[in-house]
Amino acid sequence: MRTEPRFPAVADNAAHYESFYIKAARPGGGRAVWIRYTVHKAPGAAPAASLWLTYFDAEADGPRAAKATVSSSELGSPEGAFIRIGEAVLEPGRARGSIAAPERGASWDLAFEEGAEPLRHLPYERLYRSRLPRTKFLSPYPATTFEGELVIGGERVPIAGWPGMVGHNWGAEHAERWVWIQGSDLGGRPGDYIDFAAGRIKIGPWTSPWVANGRIVLDGEPRRLGGFDRIYGTEITEEPTGCEFALPGKDVALRGRVGARKKDFVAWVYADPKGPEHNTLNCSISDLQLTVERPGHRAETIEVEAGAAYEFGSRDSDLGIPLQPYPDP
């Protein structure tokens, strides 16, 4: 498989969180779905598992969201699958599940293609085994296409040829502050994408500068973005509903902005296994503008309209958007 679950091997006295997530946006933008299968384990405690779903519609008053949390008895990693939570399963090529709740219930049954090769955000394999960074992340399917159906609040939403991705992260605690930015089919070119995460890490009383890791693919050519050796030159100016950024990379320089209207963001509580919690915003129908410079190419401006993902997480207690009425876990 392109990745494997880490939670089955976590020691009883260890802290751990883990997330498998899906983002898919309608061609042309304006609608998107974001689904998460997560594990949360405090030291000395049994893990809890949660299903999260957000449906974004630019024509609606705001996103519709649902969440359900179950005990460790309903969590598993069946052979050939990434994770099972109750009857919900994420496995290579398919994601299905449901959340039962009055007026907030949801279900999904999605098939996805192999698509692009996996993206390992961290530049060295040893970083996936080391203590730092405390968050490990990769995208086993960084560019794929989804088919199927979503049902949210009784409304059926057909998913036909929606480009998107499947991601996976895990660790002992979240970054002190982070942003995640993703866009598919850049410039209308199927298979081209951008996917990067940037974080500031708390080490004792010290908080690191922004460290970004990811990839941009243009004309089918992958180029690594950021890295620990490119902290100088990495600029992130983040706000709850938007972000401006400049990223150096391997044979590429990138500047851009991502953001959306306040009404189109969902706000969740993300708990650290050892506490305290973060407040996290996500809009998967964000607008993304990029200016890309590559050797041998003219500078290129690329836009993704109402179809990019922007996630912002911090310990800030009031980000100006009401939190969904669910604790974490």
Taking only the tens place, the pLDDT of each residue in 301-322 is: 999 999 999 999 999 988 999 9
Q: Any idea which residue has 């009857």 for tokens?
A: 87
Give the span between the Cα atoms of 106 and 85, in whole angstroms: 15
Give the span between the Cα atoms of 283 and 62, in whole angstroms: 10
Q: What is the DSSP string of 170-206?
A: EESS--SEEEEEEEESGGG-TT-EEEEEEEE-EETTE
Q: What is the pLDDT of residue 87?
A: 97
Q: Which two tokens stand for residue 92?
A: 């290579």
Look at residues 240, 319, 262, 271 and name the one whose alpha carbon lies nearest to residue 63. 262
Please say whether the beta carbons of 287 and 301 come within 8 A: no
Please say whether the beta carbons of 181 and 308 come within 8 A: yes
Please say whether the beta carbons of 17 and 83 come within 8 A: no
Q: Which domains does the chain carry?
A: 11-314 (2.40.370.10)
> Mind listing the pLDDT tens digit of every residue in the chain (329 residues)?
999 999 999 999 999 999 999 999 999 999 999 999 999 999 999 999 999 999 999 999 999 999 999 999 999 999 999 999 999 999 999 999 999 987 789 999 999 999 999 999 998 899 999 888 889 999 999 999 999 999 999 999 999 999 999 999 999 989 999 999 999 999 999 999 999 999 998 878 889 999 999 999 999 999 999 998 999 999 999 999 999 999 999 999 999 999 999 999 999 999 988 878 899 999 999 999 999 999 999 999 999 999 999 999 999 988 999 999 999 98
Q: What is the pLDDT of residue 19?
A: 98
Q: What is the pLDDT of residue 96?
A: 98
Look at residues 319, 325, 307, 320 and name the one whose alpha carbon lies nearest to residue 30. 307
Give the span between the Cα atoms of 281 and 279, in whole angstroms: 7
Please say whether the beta carbons of 306 and 285 come within 8 A: yes
Q: Which two tokens stand for residue 199?
A: 């974080």
Cα 269 to chain center, whole Å? Answer: 15
Q: Using CB atoms within 10 A of its CB, is residue 254 exposed (0-12), middle (13-18) or buried (19+)?
A: buried
Q: How does DSSP classify residue 8?
A: G
Vertex 25 angle, CA 117 and 244, to 5°:
85
Give the span between the Cα atoms of 175 and 208, in whole angstroms: 10
Q: What is the pLDDT of residue 112?
A: 98
258-299 residue pLDDT tens: 999 999 999 999 998 887 889 999 999 999 999 999 999 999
Dihedrals phi, psi of 293, to nearest 5 degrees: -120, 130
| Verdict on whether the full-model pTM lies above 0.95 | yes
Q: What is the pLDDT of residue 318?
A: 86
Dihedrals phi, psi of 202, to nearest 5 degrees: -90, 120
Q: How does DSSP classify residue 15?
A: -
Q: Any idea which residue has 């039962």 for tokens?
A: 100
Cα 18 to chain center, whole Å? Answer: 12
Cα 228 to chain center, whole Å? Answer: 21
71-80 residue pLDDT tens: 999 999 999 9
Give the span between the Cα atoms of 93 and 87, in whole angstroms: 17
The β-bridge partners of 82 are none
Q: What is the pLDDT of residue 76?
A: 98
Give the span between the Cα atoms of 314 and 280, in whole angstroms: 7
